Amino acid sequence: MRAIIVLFGALAAAPGWTAPVQTKMPPPPTADELIARHIEARGGAERLKSIQSLRREGRLLVSFGDQIIELHLVDLQARPGRRRVEATLQGLTDVQAYDGKEAWQINPFQGRKDPERLAPDEVKSLILGADLDTPLVDYRGKGHSVEYLGLEDVEGSPAHKLRLALKSGDEITYFIDPDSMMVIRAVEKQLVRGTEKVVETDFGEYERVNGVWEPMSEESGAKGSPANEKERSLFEKAEANVPLNDALFTFPVAAQASKESAK
């Protein structure tokens, strides 16, 4: 030990020698800092607010065993918190919609051609998708809380990990690319009829729409499921601020009344 002290003393006395500088590692970013950078990267808060509606159109690819079924897909979002998704195959159109208060569907592929109301538990992802800004933006005002969990590997690359605890009691874990600051993955943990359901969605092919970067590809399925069991939404066209009639989102009362009178 004495020899080490003597040697260090000799080095310190040597001309031109300086003690090594200990560099300080920068502190990790906070959740709020990451969210602010994410919003700015997407186009900024003002541009996000300027989008009152969004219409995306493309293809939905669904796997059935060794077969891939392709449907025509239209996804409509409008403020405040409304959404309608249509998937069409061979003249039949499946509809799921939410008007900000209640959700409903038309499912002709299961022989249900009349609209029927849905319980919120059944369409949690649809309802979350009705938030044009995504739940991260103004999360406090929406009653959510967020926690930064550091970096985690996503498909071989590190990504910032944010866990958003929703007001409903469910949670979403977002993975944000450190370079683009875009969300590349979201894992939704939901309680559906008392059973936990975990849905993983990968986002990509971002394109600028009215100054805001929007994902044009989404691959979704149960967490850990193989790629051939996931649904793929491939959007080829996106338009902002298109006029959308309120009737697109509200439950078709006339159709229900007609059904009742036929009984």
Over residues 195-250, the pLDDT tens digits come to: 889 999 999 999 999 999 999 999 999 888 887 788 999 999 999 999 999 999 99
Domain limits, the chain? 43-140+207-261
128: Cα separation from own chain's centroid: 8
Residue 256 three-state SS: helix
- Give bridge partners of residue 207 from the DSSP assignment: 214
What is the pLDDT, as a whole number, of residue 7? 38
Q: Are 97 and 108 in contact (CB under 8 A)?
A: no
What is the pLDDT, as a whole number, of residue 260? 38
| pLDDT under 50: residue ranges of the chain | 1-13, 257-263
What is the pLDDT, as a whole number, of residue 25? 64
CATH of 43-140+207-261, one of 3.40.50.720, 3.30.70.2740, 2.50.20.10, 3.40.50.300: 2.50.20.10
The proportion of the chain whose per-residue pLDDT surpasses 90, expressed as a percent, equals: 72
pTM: 0.84
Q: What is the per-residue DSSP string for 119-144?
A: -GGGGHHHHHTT-TT-TTTTTTTTT-
